[in-house]
Amino acid sequence: MSSRKKIILIFFGVFLFRLFFGLCESDWTNYDEIQSYLTGLKFYTTETWPYFGPDAGGAESTFHSQVPGALEGLVIGLPLYVLPIPEAPFILLNLLSAAGVLLLAWYIQKRIPQMSFPWLCLWIAIAPWSLHYGTQISNMSYLFFSGILFFIGFLESLPFFTMNLIPASWANFLMGFTFFWIMQFHLSYFYLFPLAVFSLMVQLKNQRHPRALGFFIFGSLLPLAFVIPTFIQYGLGVINSHSGFYVPFNWTNVKLIVVLLARLLSLVCFEVPVFIGVHFVTRIAFLTDHPLILVQGAFLWIAGLIQPFVLLFYWFKKDHFVPRWTETKWLMLVVFLIVYGSFWFTIKAPLSHIYYVLFPLLMIYSCYCWAFFISNSRFRILAKVFLVFGFLFQVGYAVIMAPQDSIYPQRGVVLKAIQEKNYHLLGERTQGDLY
C-alpha cells in the first residue's frame, strides 16, 4: 500500500472515530455547547449576520459580554446550508479536527523521526483533552486545528526552531491568520500575542525574513474581515469584552503555581479523573459501575498520574539525541511563566481549558520527553498496551455516555428547528446577548 493511501486511511479512521465520539459525548446540558450551537443555528434560521460569537463570562464574574466576530456563527451555521441535518456542524468540525491530528503528528514526526507516524496519530486522537475539547460543538473545539497551525507557523518562523518544512512567508501567514481566528473564539489568544511579537521581532532583527510583518498582516486579513462588521455596527468599544476579568492582583492564584503546572502538563497526558466524575468517590463509582472499562480506566488513571511527573523530571535533562531539545524546553518554561503570570491579574481560576490553545506546543514537548524511552523495547510494548487501552476506554466511555450526552435525545427537536427555520425550538440565546 502506498504511503498516500495509508495517510488517507488513517485520516478517515481518525475522522470517523472523533466524529463518533463528538456525537456521543456532546453534552447539550452544558451551557457553552448549547449556546455555541444556537449561535450557528440562529445564523442559519434567521439569515442574519452573526456579529458576536461566544459569551464572555463565567461563574467568577459579575458581568456578561460577548466575543466580537462572526466566525463561530459561520463555521457552525454554514454547514447546515450544505447538509441541513443536526450532524452537519459536527462533520465539518471533525474534518478539521482529524486534519489537525494528522498535521500535528506529521510535524512531530519530522522533528523526532524516531517516532512512528501512526503511533502519534493514535495518541493525539485519543488524548482526553484533544478528544473532549476537539470534537464537540463549542467555541473551544475550534481552537484545536487553529492552535496547531499557529504553533507550526511560530516554530517554523524562528531560526533556532525551524526545520525548514514550510517557507518563512507561509509561517508568518499562518501566525497572522490563526491569531485573529482564535481571537474570535476564546480569550486565550492573549497567550499567543507575546509569542507572535517575539517571532516578528527576531525575524526583523536578524533580517531572516524582512517581509515577515507583511505576511503576518496578509494572513490576518481574512479572519479580520469577519470581525470588522461588528466594529462598524457597534463601535470599537466591543473589544473590551473581557475587562471584567481584571483585578489589581490575585494572591490566591499566585499560590497555585504547583496546581497550575500540574494542570498544564496534564493537558497532554491521559487525564482520566476530570472527565469521569466531580470528586474521588464519584470517579471510583463510575469505573466500578462500568466493568467493561474498569481495567482500562484503572490502568490509564495510574498512567495519567505518572505522566506529568515524567514530563517535569525530563525537563531537567541537559542533553537529547533529538535536535532543538534545549530550545524547546526553555520555550516551555517561558510559556508556563506567561500563563502563570496571567493569572495574577484575573479573577478567573487557573482551570485547564483556559490555556487549551497551548495543547500543540505541550504535545510537541511531551513527545521530546517520550523519545528518551524510544530505544527501550519494554517501553515500546507498554506504549502499545497504553494506546490500545486508551482507544478501548474512549470508545467504551462514549457508548456509556451516549444515552444522556449525545445529540440524539434532542435530534428531532433540532431537525424541526432546522426545517422550520426557527432556532427558538431548541433554546434561547443568553439574555442580554447582542446576537
List the one residue out of 160, 42, 86 whose CA is nearest residue 407.
86
Tell me the β-bridge partners of 246: 346
How confident is residue 346, by pLDDT bands cut at 50, 70 and 90? confident
Q: How many CA atoms lie within 13 A of 192 on its CB side?
A: 33
In which region does residue 266 sit, left (phi positive, over 0), alpha (psi from -120 to 50) or beta (all else)?
alpha
- Give yes or no for residue 202 having a pLDDT over 60: yes
Q: What is the pLDDT of residue 29?
A: 74
In three-state secondary structure terms, 138 is coil
Determine the pLDDT at residue 238: 64
pLDDT reading at 95 higher than 60 = yes
Q: What percent of the chain has pLDDT over 70?
A: 95
Q: What is the CA radius of gyration of the chain?
A: 21
Sequence spans of domains, the chain: 17-425
Q: What contacts 69, CB < 8 A, 6 or more positions away?
A: 52, 53, 183, 184, 223, 226, 227, 230
Residue 4 pLDDT = 86
Please name which of 89, 35, 44 lies closest in space to residue 67, comparing C-alpha atoms. Answer: 35
The CA distance from 397 to 420, in Å, is 34
175-199 pLDDT per residue, tens? 999 999 999 999 899 999 999 999 9
Asked if the model's pLDDT at residue 26 lies above 90, the reply is no
Quote the pLDDT of residue 242: 64
Q: Is the pLDDT of residue 278 over 70?
A: yes
Q: How far apart are CA 143 and CA 64, in angstroms?
A: 22
* Distance, CA of 408 to CA of 7 (rounded, Å): 31
The conformational region for residue 250 under phi > 0 = left, psi -120 to 50 = alpha, else beta, is beta
Cell numbers found for residue 396? 467504551
- 351-377 pLDDT, tens per residue? 999 999 999 999 999 999 999 999 999
* Total-model pTM: 0.94
